[in-house]
């Protein structure tokens, strides 16, 4: 009679088990997961590429037109920095679309349920998406500004029309462009988180930035009082040359306008308040509504 050898199952010793710190859900890990989702989407890459190409392309085109129209030997005053402001106005459309789709895309595909299941407290997922979006837009727009500046120096530097980096006003515009685009992206992101529908969110954001703000330019006293505090009007002050701001203020005074005249950083602060309020509303609704 033979006896079989009983083999006890292998047990995992405490030294072999993963430490609790390695499986704990932390905000940096949530940010990392959102970054992986963000960079692996084709729409994200294309939208960021379009933002870069649009800004640099418009700056190149307008700089070439300005150089061709300048008289030989004529020295400019470096006010061509306004070209960058015009290019940013077009690039904000791509940034707005990306800001909305970052959040509404998950609702349309129902992937938001998996995201919230992985992050039960919910709010870290919202903040992580915002951090990834803001960082990406700021980096890409900063690169676009650097390339655009190099292009302007190359095309306009010969006749003195290139932006004067010795002026504080010029530096403020160069810094203001990525700040403005980042804030606008978060503005669109917050509205997308509130409405949870791509078409509705895009219509709302573009309506506020392109339609409502133009309607409020009509010389009616209630419009004049509200217009300076609209998100696009206020926020764009940070990337507007001071000479242009002074000119607009002079025109407003000549027309007996009664609205407030905000400075560059005051206007940007108004936009930041818009973003903060909308993100707060989005956070409250995320905690109360079903995915």
Q: Does position 193 have pLDDT exceeding 90, yes or no? A: yes
Q: Which two tokens stand for residue 80?
A: 């061509």
- Kindly state the average pLDDT of the residues 228-237: 91
pLDDT of residue 22: 54
* Three-state DSSP class for residue 130: helix
- Which are the contacts of 172, defined by CB distance < 8 A and separation ≥ 6? 238, 264
DSSP labels, 79-142: GGGHHHHHHHHHHHHHHHHHHHHHHHHHHHHTHHHHHHHHSTT-HHHHHHHHHHHHHHHHHHHH
Q: Does position 183 have pLDDT exceeding 90, yes or no? A: yes
Residue 220: C-alpha distances to residues 44, 89, 257, 283 (Å)? 41, 25, 9, 36
- Kindly state the average pLDDT of the residues 157-177: 83
Q: Mean pLDDT in the chain?
A: 84
CA angle (274 as vertex; 270, 276 as ends), nearest 5: 110
Confidence of residue 207 (pLDDT cuts 50, 70, 90): very high
Per-residue pLDDT tens digits for 105-148: 888 888 888 888 888 888 999 999 999 999 999 999 999 999 99
pLDDT of residue 226: 87
pLDDT of residue 20: 46
Q: Which two tokens stand for residue 3?
A: 């006896």
Q: Does position 6 have pLDDT exceeding 90, yes or no? A: no
- Kindly state the average pLDDT of the residues 138-167: 87
Greater pLDDT, 102 or 74: 102
pLDDT of residue 156: 82
Q: Does position 23 have pLDDT exceeding 50, yes or no? A: yes
Confidence of residue 187 (pLDDT cuts 50, 70, 90): very high
**Chain CA centroid to CA 207, Å:** 17
- Kindly state the average pLDDT of the residues 149-176: 85
- Which are the contacts of 204, defined by CB distance < 8 A and separation ≥ 6? 191, 195
- Kindly state the average pLDDT of the residues 37-47: 89
Least confident of 10-19, 60-69, 267-276: 10-19
């Amino acid at each position: 009679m033979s006896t079989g050898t009983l083999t006890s199952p292998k047990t995992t010793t405490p030294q072999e088990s993963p430490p609790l710190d390695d499986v704990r859900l932390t905000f940096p890990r949530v940010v990392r997961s959102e970054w992986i989702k963000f960079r692996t989407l084709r729409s994200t890459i294309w939208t960021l590429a379009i933002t870069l190409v649009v800004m640099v392309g418009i700056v190149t085109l307008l700089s070439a037109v300005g150089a061709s129209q300048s008289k030989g030997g004529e020295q400019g005053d470096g006010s061509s920095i306004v070209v960058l402001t015009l290019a940013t106005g077009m690039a904000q459309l791509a940034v707005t679309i990306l800001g909305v789709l970052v959040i509404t895309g998950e609702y349309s595909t129902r992937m938001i349920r998996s995201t919230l299941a992985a992050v039960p407290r919910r709010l870290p997922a919202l903040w992580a998406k915002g951090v990834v979006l803001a960082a990406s837009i700021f980096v890409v727009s900063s690169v676009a500004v650097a390339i655009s500046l190099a292009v302007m120096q190359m095309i306009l530097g010969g006749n003195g029309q290139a932006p004067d980096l010795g002026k504080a006003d010029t530096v403020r515009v160069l810094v203001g462009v990525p700040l403005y685009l980042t804030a606008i992206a978060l503005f669109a992101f917050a509205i997308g988180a509130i409405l949870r529908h791509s078409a509705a969110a895009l219509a709302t954001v573009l309506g506020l930035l392109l339609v409502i703000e133009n309607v409020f330019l009509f010389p009616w006293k209630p419009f004049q009082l509200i217009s300076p505090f609209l998100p696009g009007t206020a926020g764009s002050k940070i990337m507007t040359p001071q000479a242009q701001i002074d000119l607009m203020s002079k025109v407003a005074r000549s027309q007996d306008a009664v609205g407030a005249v905000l400075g560059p950083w005051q206007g940007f602060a108004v936009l930041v308040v818009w973003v903060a309020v909308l993100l707060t509303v989005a956070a409250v609704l995320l905690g109360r509504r079903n995915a």
